[in-house]
Amino acid sequence: MNWCLFMFNSNMVFFVLEMYNVVGPAEPLFTFPGEDVILPCSIKPNTSAVNMRVEWFRLDLQDSTVYLYENGENKIMTQDQYFRGRTALFQEELQNGNASLKLSSVQVSDEGVYKCFIESNSWYDDITVSVDVGGTPPLIIVEEFDHSGGLRLLCECEGWNPKPELQWLDSKGENLASDTEETHKDAKGYKVKRRITVHDSETKYQCRVKLRHHMVQTDIIVSSKYELGFSFSNFQGNVMHIITAVAVATFVYIRRADVTLDPDTAHKYLILSEDGKQVRRGEKKQNVPDNPERFDKCGNVLGKQEFSSGRFYFEVQVKGKTDWDIGVARKSITRKGKIILSPQNGYWTVRLRNGNQYSACAGPTVSLSLKVKPQKVGVFVDYEEGLISFYDVESRSHIYSFSDQWFTEDLYPILNPCTNIKNKYSAPLIISSVNFNE
């Protein structure tokens, strides 16, 4: 405690002043929308604030009381409506001179300058605390393999003010030139996007958003272990002003196969689009010959393109459908009569029945429980490895894999759009185009 002794020459009157300093953070605080933040404010030296008046207000807003503590009470009614229910002092800390304010569920509009004013019977002092509210941390999206086998990564952040700097860095922290930068501004602030194309596997890339002295970073580890599929693991840790999220993406040197359907193999009830990218079950028989390539009992159609080596990948949109079979088949499969789909019979397929029953036709059937209903199914084949994997493209999650298979013949994509009951299931299966700007 600092005491100040005042002495007046005539009457020798003494009185003492209880002097103190109010202290707070030297730097602006940085937080994100939705988070809780503590605005530090305390008395030095250690003095109880229980009998003092503690007022928090916004310097940049007129008449805006954020919090008021007076005569041992919290004066909730004087608080600005906007802060009601979102602010609190730490009551048990007041006796230690700690008048820090907890601000919950931060909003973008909480950005500003706050004053902490502490008044005793004989003294007062205050400090200001600046609060900066950032936008979203950078989000990395694994977009596509391009035609040269490079993996396209998109990084985006939004809700930043003013415009932040968005950078891609390699594992050594060197700046990487990005393919494109896009900036948009809306009511929430700036949205910035940057894309890069990476060619090497087993390495880490970082996307960083910087604004003044704040920095938030997301890392992505690109791996060639395709068993991980498109699974995306994410975690966030808050270390001062740096948030790091790590995502693991699969890096596979594959090309997207340009699959079109072969009308000569399509069952007579199937209707193909002119470009050969769509198939649906029609109401009546098409006028087609019963040639040897054609399925006569099962509603299947094969792709035109055969694959006899390497890796390939294609995607099929299954949106709006309740039943389908998707996969690959070997060339020598029986096309006539009833067919049981299984690897033994030359079919590696996954199916949906009755809108929610997913299974792998692994002979025996393996039922699959999927958290989300895939809208697009990705099929990846590694011919030499004997691997066929199915993915939910949108959630980037793995559905099922047939591994340790042995391929000796050409493989073809196979689709069955299944029965069309009461027009309810008439949506076509659509093979995604290889044009990746789509």
Ligand X SMILES: *[C@@H]1O[C@H](CO)[C@@H](O)[C@H](O)[C@H]1NC(C)=O
80 near 64, Cβ under 8 Å?
Answer: yes
Q: Is 305 in the site for ligand X (CB under 6 A)?
A: no
Tell which positions 101-140 bind ligand X, by CB under 6 A: none
CA distance 223 to 113: 45
Q: How far is the CB of 157 from ligand X (least distance, A)?
A: 29
The one among 79, 87, 100, 217 contacting ligand X by CB under 6 A? 100
Residue 204's DSSP bridge partners are 221
Omega cis (within 30) before 413: no
Q: How far is the CB of 203 from ligand X (least distance, A)?
A: 39
CA distance 99 to 90: 7
Whose Cβ is closer to ligand X: residue 45's or residue 363's? 45
Whose Cβ is closer to ligand X: residue 15's or residue 90's? 90
User: Per-residue x/- mask for ligand X, residues 25 to 54, rule CB under 6 A?
Assistant: -------------x-x-x---x--------
Q: How far is the CB of 129 from ligand X (least distance, A)?
A: 13
Sheet holding 411-416, edge to edge: 301-302, 411-416, 324-330, 347-353, 357-361, 365-368
∠ CA 21-27-28, nearest 5°, is 110
**Which residues are within 8 A (CB) of 132 and not within 5 positions of it... i.e. 6 or more apart?**
28, 29, 30, 31, 111, 211, 212, 214
The one among 74, 98, 203, 345 contacting ligand X by CB under 6 A? 98
Count Cβ neighbours within 10 Å for each residue of 110-136 and write b for 16 or more, e otherwise: bbbebbbbbbbeebebbbebbbbbbbb
The one among 65, 74, 96, 345 contacting ligand X by CB under 6 A? 96
Phi then psi dihedrals of residue 264, to 5 deg: -70, -15
Q: How far is the CB of 20 from ligand X (least distance, A)?
A: 12
By rule CB under 6 A, what count of residues binds ligand X? 9
The one among 15, 60, 84, 90 contacting ligand X by CB under 6 A? 90
Stretch binding ligand X (CB under 6 A), from 94-102, 136-144, 236-244, 384-392: 94-102
Q: Is 93 in the site for ligand X (CB under 6 A)?
A: yes
Q: Which residues bind ligand X (CB under 6 A)?
A: 38, 40, 42, 46, 90, 93, 96, 98, 100
